[in-house]
Amino acid sequence: MFTARDRLKLLLGGAAFSVSACGGGSSSPVRPTPPPVVVTPPTPAPVIFVPTEGQLRDKFVNQFQVGGAIQVGQLTAPEGTLLGAQFNSITAEFEMKPDIMGPSEGVYNWVEADALLAFAEDNGLQLRGHALLWHRSTPDWMLTGTPAQVKVKLQTYITEVVTRYRGKIYAWDVVNEVITDDGSLGDAYRRSNWWTASGGNADYIDWAFEAARAADPDCKLYINDYGTEFSGKLGRLLDVVRDLQARDIPLDGIGHQMHINVGTSAQQVFDAVDAVDTEFMGLEQHITELDISVYSDPASCFSDQTGCQSDYGTTIPDTVFTNQAQLYRAIFDGLATRSSVNSVTLWGISDAATWLNEYPVSRTNAPLLWDRDRNAKSALQAILDSSFTP
Ligand code: G3I
């Protein structure tokens, strides 16, 4: 019996019901087919790649040491943990330069350097010395007086420092960034405070290497510079190396800083290394400060902070990270085939703590292998896993 109540339910419940249902017929009401319920599967959480303990240093253990730049204040931070877990060499980002270690004549500050050495020894890492001389980190006391007086002060400082860490620091950047960026000077030397203090010449470079060799004959002595991925700067560096070699000035290796960007080609890196191998067989080579900026800026951005690429903020395109990962993979794979390269150091550990967040302008950069949350990036996965497609 189809009651009024039924009819009411019917009417209330579903205007969609057919007329026959409303006609009170004896058949049960025809129910419309409910629309298919589409169940959207939850978006799978991105699988975060987590390298196994030591995976980065182990992968290249037969080719080169893998280093990271660190500050004392980061040793107990996530960066220090990652450094101990994945690297086998460390470099002081700034605390082993003369402005920190030699605050005034005859006064030495060993605190930060000793802390970095202790961390290295506790974690089985090598400590790479950076840097005995750099025009940007030179306290005034070193530069005052006659060239002869400056020579004595420089050699005294280097003797004290290198002697203290003899047998503990396996390599020193003896001189950093002494090559000019100006190709019009007629020679290769930066006209720095050291050029002036030395009497308008580059004698200070000899003084530095000779003092370092005398203090620790077993330490590997490096000349270190940026921009060797460009042929002009590279050529000027090779001119200086050629001169040092010709005069038997102690030198064991060339450091290529390689502060590059996603617009750099891996071949540019290899060309620099191969040029040294071609002419200076027997010299070692280190990549000393590798990072890959996500910005490709014009020269004006570095000279006067104009024309710089706009800040990506927190929305760095995936295509940029893909390019970065592919470039990191290519560089590590290519360097692993070049036997003169026995160290590759990243200039920092995570994107949370990179100098490039402030240079050449303040903006969000992401040049390293771990992100701001200290999660491994596709760049690290690309280096470690040849089957991974960035
Ligand atoms: O940590 C202190 C902080 O406590 C203090 O409040 C602040 C202001 O005084 O200074 C902080 O230390 C600064 C440090 O960076 C950490 O941010 C130093 O002043 C500053 O001089 C130091 O700059 C370093 C710079 O060399 C000069 O030593 C950068 O970190 C470091 O990335 C940079 O590294 C150079 C290489 O040695 C040579 N190649 C180029 C490369 C980049 O410029």
Strand ranges in the chain using DSSP code E only, listed in sequence order: 65-70, 89-92, 126-130, 169-176, 220-225, 253-256, 259-261, 284-293, 341-346
Residue 7 in domain: no
Residues 6 or more apart whose CB falls under 8 angstroms from that of 76 comprise none
H/E element, 11: helix 4-13
CA of 361 to the centre of ligand 1 (A): 15
- Decide whether any atom of ligand 1 lies within 6 Å of the 97 Cβ: yes
- Decide whether any atom of ligand 1 lies within 6 Å of the 302 Cβ: no
What confidence score (pLDDT) does residue 4 get? 55
- Decide whether any atom of ligand 1 lies within 6 Å of the 141 Cβ: no
Residue 264 in domain: yes
CA of 137 to the centre of ligand 1 (A): 10
- 13/122 Cα distance (integer angstroms): 75
What confidence score (pLDDT) does residue 21 get? 35
Residue 304 in domain: yes
What confidence score (pLDDT) does residue 24 get? 40
Q: Closest Cα to residue 175, out of 139, 204, 217?
A: 204
- Decide whether any atom of ligand 1 lies within 6 Å of the 88 Cβ: no
Which of 95, 349, 355, 357 is the best mutation target for the ligand 1 pocket, counting ligand atoms within 8 Å of the beta carbon and taking the most?
355
Phi-psi category of 290—alpha, beta or left, where left has phi over 0 and alpha has psi -120 to 50? beta
Residue 192, both tokens: 């720095």
Beta partners for residue 128, in sequence order: 91, 171
Domain extent for 307: 52-384
Residue 8 in domain: no
Residue 35 in domain: no
What confidence score (pLDDT) does residue 27 get? 56
Instruction: Go through the chain and tell me how many residues it has.
Output: 390
Residue 360 in domain: yes
Residue 201, both tokens: 């010449």
112 is catalytic: no
Cis, bond preceding 360 (omega within 30 deg of 0): yes
Phi-psi category of 227—alpha, beta or left, where left has phi over 0 and alpha has psi -120 to 50? left
177 is catalytic: yes
Check 177, 229, 284, 358 and give the catalytic one: 177
CATH number at residue 116: 3.20.20.80
Check 79, 229, 284, 289 and give the catalytic one: 289
CA of 93 to the centre of ligand 1 (A): 7
What's the total number of domains in the chain? 1
Residue 120 in domain: yes
- Decide whether any atom of ligand 1 lies within 6 Å of the 257 Cβ: yes
Per-residue pLDDT tens listing for the chain (390 residues): 455 555 555 444 443 333 333 334 445 667 777 777 777 777 777 677 899 999 999 999 999 999 999 999 999 999 999 999 999 999 999 999 999 999 999 999 999 999 999 999 999 999 999 999 999 999 999 999 999 999 999 999 999 999 999 999 999 999 999 999 999 999 999 999 999 999 999 999 999 999 999 999 999 999 999 999 999 999 999 999 999 999 999 999 999 999 999 999 999 999 999 999 999 999 999 999 999 999 999 999 999 999 999 999 999 999 999 999 999 999 999 999 999 999 999 999 999 999 999 999 999 999 999 999 999 999 999 999 999 999
